[in-house]
Amino acid sequence: MLELREVTVTASGAAEAPVLLSEVTACFARGEVCALLGPSGSGKTTLVRAVAGIAGTSAGSLHWKGIDLNLEDLPPSQIGYVPQFTISQENLTAEENIILALRLRVVGLSGPALEARAAELLDLTSLGSAAKTLSKHLSGGQRRRLALSMELAGEPPLLLCDEVTSGLDARSEREILDLLRRIAREGNRVVIVVTHGLRDLDAFDKVAVLSGGSLAYFGPPDTLAHYFRVDRPEEIFERLPQRSAAEWHASWNKHRTHFEPADRPPPETAVTADVTADLPVLLPGAFSQFLTLTATRWKIFSRDKGNFALQIGLVLGFPLVVAVFALGGLPAVPNLDAGLSGDVVRQLIEARTYAEGASKAGSVVSGLVLLQVILLGLLGANNSAREIAGERAIFEKERFAGLKPAAYVASKTVFLAVLVVLQSAWMTWFVRTVTGFPGDGSQQFLFFLLVNAALTATCLGISALVRNADQASLASIYLVGFQLPLSGAVLALPAGLDAALRPFIAAYWSWSGALQSLRETRYYDVLELVVPTTLSAASLCAWVLILHIIFGIFIAWLGCLRSAWDR
């Protein structure tokens, strides 16, 4: 049994903040389906989130089977939450989405047992015929049933559904409500459904009506119209604005005993409670979740044809952009033979010729390195800017069900690391092969790899912090765009500004470290003619970039610890 005792929720959790939910008292029995009704902004979603523990209460208490939820959180397997937005991986089939939920939420299932359990959930929600259909090709009603299937993976005795029938046609809505009724009865569950629909109230055992965050009615649907003094339930929303929320709440407190009998019998098809069914389901460990997420991410990547083609195009095209500036090879560093001639004019001409040739050679070498650094930075931004922000709703749902943020971020890190290595290796090999670029190739690869990884990790952190994928992409592009002018590779910044900004500019450290690979060549001797800033030691450059990588991953982890249901 779920019991709410004068539950109050404020906007910020503080007593003086605006009240979203005021002194709601209600009791929900096992085997029942209860509807939460009310106009937009009446507190329906807030109430569901308070029960789920997503929205903290500022007063009152919630009790589940005698447990005060203000003092003790429910295990993830004890509660299922279906938010109003669809939660599934679009490039996985219905069956694969359910198997993914089972792997992340239930320990000990594998092979035939895993497939059998997935088949049971598909049959329960009438999705057997769509088992092999990608989620993005399912109808609206099928997606809602898929969301329910995934939530039932851990056999939760308490199921909260927020607007699961919103936007559906009458037939699909009725099918979902019949399914919820069967789930409540057969599983002896408490099922609470937020809905705006008034045409199928007979599918519910109880109805709670909220007005301005206050409870205006809580009882059987067959006395709803009588209580509100309307001819039909559909007229309730027209009736509510005629009185204030406080007046409706006071009226309900006065008359509730007439509509909420204490001896109301349980639903006729409810089964006897089985206490063993409520034992918490053991969650898989972080490493198991990591392996599941990593394998799933590669499967999704291979099926996303548009993103896969974009990756291939960028990886193949960016090195061509670099190589086109030196297709005929790098300009040679001229010899300075002015000392062999006693003619002063000839010495001046030779010195000028040397300076021009050396400056050209140094500029081309420095420019090619910097161009590779910036393009690899762009690849880094493209790698990870949308990685977390683009599926934040899915992550939040799985975290609510027991997914560990560390396992999630680790899976993203490993997936992105493979992309970074392939991108950096191809860039280094192609440019060196086509242009005959000199120097230590392994050292150049190291610093191209590090800058790609540093900006990939930093943009992953941005992706975990911002509100949506578009904002993450924009912020990441700006970050890479500022790398060029602030790196000091083109223009020397004022000393104080340069010292303040340099530690944060990954492009400078990669460019400087890669140029150090030319120390054993004549090109290094002429770089001082064109390089406007001091080069740092290769070891220092490497450590700074490694710190960038660690910091980016740490920020991504911190961002995933924050709740972001409203993004």
Examine the domain organization and report whether 236 and 327 are in the same domain.
no
Examine the domain organization and report whether 236 and 385 are in the same domain.
no
Examine the domain organization and report whether 168 and 258 are in the same domain.
yes
Examine the domain organization and report whether 411 and 539 are in the same domain.
yes
Domain ends where: 210, 244, 277?
277
Domain that holds residue 532: 318-331+362-561
Q: What gap in Å lies between CA 10 and CA 15, rounded to an integer? A: 7
Q: Report residue 239 as tokens.
A: 């009736």
Examine the domain organization and report whether 551 and 475 are in the same domain.
yes
Examine the domain organization and report whether 260 and 367 are in the same domain.
no
- Which pTM does this prediction carry? 0.87
Q: Is residue 307 part of a domain?
A: no
What parts of the chain have a pLDDT lower than 50?
A: 263-277, 338
Examine the domain organization and report whether 244 and 326 are in the same domain.
no
Q: Is residue 118 part of a domain?
A: no
Q: Is residue 30 part of a domain?
A: yes
Q: What gap in Å lies between CA 415 and CA 394, rounded to an integer? A: 18
Examine the domain organization and report whether 229 and 327 are in the same domain.
no
What's 245's domain CATH number?
Answer: 3.40.50.300
Phi and psi dihedrals of 28, rounded to 5? -120, 125
Contact 135/94 with Cβ under 8 angstroms?
yes
Strands 158-162 and 190-194: parallel
Examine the domain organization and report whether 514 and 428 are in the same domain.
yes
Q: Is residue 492 part of a domain?
A: yes
Q: What gap in Å lies between CA 88 and CA 82, rounded to an integer? A: 11
Number of domains composing the chain: 2
Examine the domain organization and report whether 162 and 239 are in the same domain.
yes
Q: Is residue 189 part of a domain?
A: yes
Q: In DSSP terms, which residues pair with 162 in a beta bridge?
A: 194
Q: Is residue 163 part of a domain?
A: yes
pLDDT (0 to 100) of residue 280:
59
Q: Is residue 250 part of a domain?
A: yes
On the 0-12 / 13-18 / 19+ scale of CB atoms within 10 A, 482 is middle
On the 0-12 / 13-18 / 19+ scale of CB atoms within 10 A, 324 is exposed
Q: Is residue 295 part of a domain?
A: no
Q: Which residues in 119-189 belong to E strands, given as ranges?
A: 158-162
pLDDT (0 to 100) of residue 286:
93
Examine the domain organization and report whether 271 and 327 are in the same domain.
no
On the 0-12 / 13-18 / 19+ scale of CB atoms within 10 A, 562 is exposed
Examine the domain organization and report whether 60 and 162 are in the same domain.
yes
Q: Report residue 459 as tokens.
A: 């943009």
Q: Helix, strand or coil for residue 515?
A: helix
pLDDT (0 to 100) of residue 351:
60
